[in-house]
């Protein structure tokens, strides 16, 4: 890390899970126990039952609003401050990296607290609705229902975000894959692009993934354990990691 000219960090749902945010692999509970996340996170589901999908996302927003960045989030923010050439690319939509202090975060799957128009061709964005809003508000431009600004199943990733991430993967010296299963493409391809381009690969994940065998360094731990330890070993300004 000290000698790397550019560092790419890829984060997935495992990082958010350490803050108590359910992943899409977790069974839903309470009022949502009879649904699968896959049945509530598609354009088709929103077209059929916009109020139902909206209420589920409002429930998710409430969970995230009450969550706090964990030691892994804070360690990554501190690492970004002491490594000038570090880019953070996340599959998470909760904004916890930014709340921890990370800057210029590339969000491959959008952000849970952004709203945008559901009508094809409109793409109007709007201020985030209040958490007690029980149905999707109308688009201020065309009147169609607003939807959460996240990537649903069957939708492409934001072109600009994917392009930035892909370019960084092809040119970095070191890549970290943290808390991601390595199963969701095209995001999962980024670590492999970096590896094929000659970057050293570090995987941080409690469970093995398809990337494990190809990684140069493997930490079979949660990010909230491994990342603060790496930060301490790197030895930045002590004030950056004092609360980790």
Q: Please spell the DSSP secondary structure of the chain, one letter per residue.
A: --S-S-EEEEE-HHHHHTTTPPPTTSPP-GGGTT--GGGTSSHHHHHH-HHHHHHHHHHHHHHHHH----HHHHHHHHHHHH-TTEEEEES--S-HHHHHT--S-EETTEEEEEEEE-STTT--EEPPPPTT--SPPBPTTT-PBEEEEEPPTT-PPPHHHHHHHHHHHHH-SEEEEES--S-STTTTHHHHHHHHTT-EEEEE-SS--TTGGG-SEEE-S-HHHHHHHHHHHH---HHHHTT-
Q: Where does the pLDDT of residue 29 fall: very low under 50, low under 70, confident under 90, or very high at 90 and above?
A: low
- The pLDDT, as a whole number, for residue 242 is 42
Q: Say which range, 108-112, 129-133, 212-216, has the weakest mean pLDDT.
A: 129-133
Q: What is the pLDDT of residues 139-163, one digit of tens each?
A: 999 999 999 999 999 999 999 999 9
Catalytic entry in 60, 73, 97, 109: 109
What pLDDT, on the 0 to 100 scale, is given for residue 27? 65
**So what's the pLDDT on residue 22?**
87
Stretch(es) of the chain classified as CATH 3.30.1600.10: 22-66+112-150
- Residue 39 has a pLDDT of 83
**pLDDT tens figures, 59-88:** 999 999 999 999 999 999 999 998 878 999
May I ask the CATH architecture of the domain 1-20+69-109+157-244?
Answer: 3-Layer(aba) Sandwich (3.40)
Q: Is 109 a catalytic residue?
A: yes
Q: Look at residue 157 in the predicted model and tell me its pLDDT.
A: 96
The reply to whether CATH 3.40.50.150 applies to domain 22-66+112-150 is no
Q: Where in the chain is the domain with CATH 3.40.50.1220?
A: 1-20+69-109+157-244
The structure's pTM equals 0.92
Most confident by average pLDDT, 31-45, 165-179, 230-244? 165-179
For the chain, what is the mean pLDDT?
A: 92
């Amino acid at each position: 890390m000290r000698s790397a000219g550019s560092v790419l960090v890829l984060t997935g749902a495992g990082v958010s899970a350490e803050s108590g945010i359910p992943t899409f692999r977790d069974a839903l509970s309470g009022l949502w126990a009879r649904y699968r996340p896959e049945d509530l996170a598609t354009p088709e589901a929103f077209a059929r039952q916009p109020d139902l999908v909206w209420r589920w996302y409002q429930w998710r927003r409430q969970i995230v609003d009450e969550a706090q960045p964990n030691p892994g989030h804070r360690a990554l923010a501190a690492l970004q401050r002491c490594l000038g050439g570090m880019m953070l690319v996340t599959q998470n939509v909760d904004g916890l990296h930014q709340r921890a202090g990370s800057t210029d975060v590339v969000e491959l799957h959008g952000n849970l607290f952004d709203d945008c128009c559901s009508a094809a061709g409109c793409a109007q964005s709007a201020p985030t609705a209040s958490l007690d809003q029980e149905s999707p508000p109308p688009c201020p431009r065309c009147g169609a229902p607003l939807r959460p600004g996240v990537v649903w199943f069957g939708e492409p990733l934001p072109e600009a975000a994917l392009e930035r991430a892909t370019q960084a993967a092809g040119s970095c010296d070191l890549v970290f894959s943290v808390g991601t299963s390595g199963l969701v493409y095209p995001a999962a391809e980024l670590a492999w692009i970096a590896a094929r381009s000659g970057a050293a690969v570090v995987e941080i994940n409690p469970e093995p993934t398809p990337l494990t065998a190809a990684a140069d360094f493997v930490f079979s731990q949660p990010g909230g354990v491994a990342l603060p330890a790496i930060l301490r070993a790197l030895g930045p300004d002590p004030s950056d990691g004092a609360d980790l």
